[in-house]
Structure 1
Amino acid sequence: MLYRKMPKNGDELSILGFGAMRLPVKDNGSIDEEKATKMVRHAIDNGVNYVDTAWPYHMGESEPFLARALADGYREKVKLATKQPQWMVKEPEDMDRFLNAQLEKLNTDHIDYYLVHSLVESSWENIRDLGVMEFLDKAKSDGRIINAGFSYHGTPEDFKPIVDAYDWDVCQIQYNFLDENVQAGRGGLEYAASRGLGVVVMEPLRGGNLADPVPSEVMDIWDEADVKRSPAEWALRWVWNHPDVTVVLSGMTEPYQVQENLKVAEQGLAGSLSEKEMRLVDRVAEKYRELMKLSCTECRYCMPCPEGVDIPACFEMYNNLHIFGDEGRLMMMYAAKLGGILRGADTNFASQCTQCGQCLDACPQNLPIPDLLEKVAEEFEGPGLGERMEFAKQLFENDGC
């Protein structure tokens, strides 16, 4: 296992982190505890020392599971990260209530890395005004948390102000070769590192979609490489190639994925891919973009929409559905994110478009945005949307404490 240092505190962290969001499950949807425990402990036995979870993962069962999986001395071998469910915080005192409940659920007296979960501009402004910075200072001073950070899902332009707002130790961003300029993007990665934050990367495989199944047109390009690697290895190595990345999280579901990722992590040195190999990855990314149904570059020139429609997010989910499939997960995420449940804001579904035409003049790709939003609505807002929204509310809003 290779390790990289957290800039502010000197922690030597494994470049591969274990993400506890996609643990193996039984037919009834509950975590397959025996299988998952073996996977977590095998990863730790082979050098993984950063484990990441959050309040809503596995319907709230990920944190209690990890408490059991990290028994027998395993808790002392890792840095444990979990996240504040900021969308559920209504009053300042809720922050202490959730943290104390998480300490109990995880059966620990401290959280090594405590992150404010899933920030965008509006949710940051809300939790900031409720006093989250004062809360973090207090929780650090009394020892309940050791390091403070945030995870991010907003736009590139809103990332830097959050970085600058507080003396963060770490940030967690989505980053992969297909999302190099999405959300925080490469610019955010480099800026956070320049400010002394450790950077934890999530979704290096885009929820596994960059690993399997791979379109034949993409596989043809991978097969041109002089050194043969699996698509998963290419994707992970591309992220680790960036020296500003500290830890890459992988949400492993099967034991073979743990084995494969442990092996790949042995080679994950910064700058270890050649220029020729990096150009090959660029070609793969371009091929994926060619295969997309909509040629949206997520420049966000079309925003803000007068009706509140999150146009780029609608198009991103539509593209993902048609390239990668994974219909069940995407349908749920559409309901949760665009339904305002995760963002703490109003709904911004595609169907809210009134065809005012303001976006048409702004789009540099000259996309017929109102017509395309109709297609998105047809795909995602048919029968079952109401049920998915109710399920998402139960998943993300039931505080359970």
Structure 2
Amino acid sequence: MKYRVNPKNGDELSILGFGCMRFAKNEQEVEEQIIYAIENGVNYFDTAYVYPKSEATLGKVLAKGYRQRVKLATKLPHYLIKKQADFDKIFHEQLKRLQTNYIDYYFIHMLPDVVVWERLVKLGILEWIEEKKQTGQIVNIGFSYHGGKDDFVEVVDAYNWEFCMIQYNYLDENNQAGKSGLQHAASKGLPVMIMEPLRGGKLVTNLPKEVYKIFDNAHVKRTPAEWSFRWIWNHPEVTLVLSGMNSMEMVKENIRVASEAEANSFSDMDYELFDKVRRILDEKIKIPCTGCNYCIPCPAGVDIPTCFSAYNDTEIEGKWTAVGKYLMQTGMKTKASNASLCTKCGKCEKYCPQNIAIREELTNVTKTMEGFHYKPARFLIKRFMRL
């Protein structure tokens, strides 16, 4: 197993982290997979409050003598925090589920923007974090993120975070936080954990036939999954990559790859392979947006690159998965940034290096992504979150 050092505290973290959201149904199999992973060098396990069975199952296994051998990560759902007492209520429930008295890496889960962070600050989260760190119950504090580039930079800069987590893979190099966000976080000395390296398996099971042919005929024989992991690990800014492993075969294969992969190890042929893959995928997507952000800020508040990214995801993820992401990325923020806010002013189109007909495409995004469900769903989410 390869390890990378957390520049904030010197922790040696396995470059493969065990993502615990998608455990197998059989608890005995899950226990065997977790123990095998630990015995073979995986020392980072990631779960969340909103995965209650996952927290409980992981805690049960780690309590059998493995807790001190791993770094345990879980997450605080900011959208369930209505008053100061909720911080402790949720945290203590997590400690009970996980059968531990401290969390190594504690996330603010899906922190969408600075406004949400400021709401938590008003509720006393800064004092709460300080108290938990002084007692040793929280060792490191960070956040996970699913939004656009600009909001990511603002969130990174809003607090002295000790780590963060973003979605990143070869298809999302210019989406969400993207490569520029990864580099910004690393420049601040933050360890960066990566989620969705395979887009929930879609980069293995839902690619165009032409892409599979490129991987099959590559100069080195590797599966699409192995190529995807190696592409991420080639980035020196990446600390570790989470994999939602739910079979022993998957655990063993990912550990094998994580025992070989190095940063800055790609050859020219490796880069050329991904250039070919991207050209094919670019032909399949609806809008040739590179996420350069020249089109924003939009006077009406539309997050144009994020809207286009979610719209393009319908080709890989399927419509309803993409619509769910679109709702989360444009509707969960304090201030909406969805496509239908466009006033057709045309300011954005003056700056687009791809010469995209942005106003026309935002109309297409609205038709596809904002059916009858969008406004009611956003209303219910905002009411639930009380933002």
* Cα distance per residue 1:10-69 (max 9 Å; x no partner): 222111001122333xxxxxx554443333333223221100112224xx4332332234
Which residues of structure 2 form unaligned runs of 5+? none
Please name the residue that 1:27 is paired with.
none
Specify which of 303, 316, 329 is matched with residue 337 of structure 1: 329
The amino acid across from 1:103 in the alignment is L
Q: d(CA) in 2 for partners of 1:391 and 1:64?
A: 29
Contact 1:18–1:48 under 8 Å retained in 2: yes
Moved more, 158-167 or 383-392: 383-392
Please name the residue that 1:54 is paired with.
48
Q: 1:269 and 1:8, CA in 2 relative to 1: closer, same or farther beyond 3 A? A: same
Shift of 1:356: 4.2
Please name the residue that 1:373 is paired with.
362
* Cα distance per residue 1:304-340 (max 9 Å; x no partner): 4444433322221221111x13444333333333332
Moved more, 196-205 or 150-159: 150-159
Please name the residue that 1:28 is paired with.
none
CA root-mean-square deviation = 3.0
In the TM superposition, 1:58-69 aligns within 5 A as 60-69=52-61
Shift of 1:303: 3.1
Contact 2:174–2:292 under 8 Å retained in 1: no
The amino acid across from 2:49 in the alignment is W
Please name the residue that 2:10 is paired with.
10
Q: d(CA) in 1 for partners of 2:181 and 2:377?
A: 32
Q: d(CA) in 2 for partners of 1:366 and 1:92?
A: 49
Q: 1:386 and 1:190, CA in 2 relative to 1: closer, same or farther beyond 3 A? A: closer
In the TM superposition, 1:86-105 aligns within 5 A as 86-105=78-97
- Secondary structure at 1:21 match in 2: coil
Please name the residue that 2:125 is paired with.
132
Contact 2:110–2:145 under 8 Å retained in 1: yes
Contact 1:173–1:202 under 8 Å retained in 2: yes
Shift of 1:176: 1.8
Shift of 1:265: 1.0
Please name the residue that 2:161 is paired with.
168
Please name the residue that 1:256 is paired with.
249
Contact 2:147–2:306 under 8 Å retained in 1: no
Q: d(CA) in 1 for partners of 2:358 and 2:153?
A: 29
Moved more, 223-232 or 377-386: 377-386
Contact 1:54–1:83 under 8 Å retained in 2: yes
Please name the residue that 1:70 is paired with.
62
Please name the residue that 1:293 is paired with.
286
Q: d(CA) in 2 for partners of 1:160 and 1:391?
A: 28
Q: d(CA) in 1 for partners of 2:308 and 2:295?
A: 12
Q: d(CA) in 1 for partners of 2:66 and 2:44?
A: 11
Shift of 1:230: 0.8
* Cα distance per residue 1:277-313 (max 9 Å; x no partner): 1232233233322321111222233334444433322
Q: 1:279 and 1:45, CA in 2 relative to 1: closer, same or farther beyond 3 A? A: same
Contact 1:204–1:250 under 8 Å retained in 2: yes
Please name the residue that 2:30 is paired with.
36
Specify which of 312, 318, 334 is matched with residue 319 of structure 1: 312
Q: 1:36 and 1:387, CA in 2 relative to 1: closer, same or farther beyond 3 A? A: farther
Shift of 1:352: 4.0
Which residues of structure 1 form unaligned runs of 5+? 25-30
* Cα distance per residue 1:81-125 (max 9 Å; x no partner): 012212333334433333222222322111010122223343334
> Structure 1 length as normaliser, TM-score?
0.84
Q: d(CA) in 2 for partners of 1:208 and 1:99?
A: 31
Please name the residue that 1:181 is paired with.
174
In the TM superposition, 1:169-248 aligns within 5 A as 169-248=162-241
Shift of 1:193: 3.0
The aligned length equals 385
Q: 1:105 and 1:157, CA in 2 relative to 1: closer, same or farther beyond 3 A? A: same
- Secondary structure at 2:203 match in 1: coil
The amino acid across from 1:360 in the alignment is E
Q: 1:190 and 1:296, CA in 2 relative to 1: closer, same or farther beyond 3 A? A: closer
Please name the residue that 2:103 is paired with.
111
Q: What percent identity do the matched residue pairs reach?
A: 48
Q: d(CA) in 2 for partners of 1:188 and 1:336?
A: 19
Contact 1:82–1:113 under 8 Å retained in 2: yes
Contact 1:303–1:310 under 8 Å retained in 2: yes
> Structure 2 length as normaliser, TM-score?
0.87
Specify which of 262, 266, 271 is matched with residue 264 of structure 2: 271
- Secondary structure at 1:173 match in 2: strand
The amino acid across from 1:239 in the alignment is I
Q: d(CA) in 1 for partners of 2:201 and 2:84?
A: 37
* Cα distance per residue 1:226-252 (max 9 Å; x no partner): 111111111111111222322111122
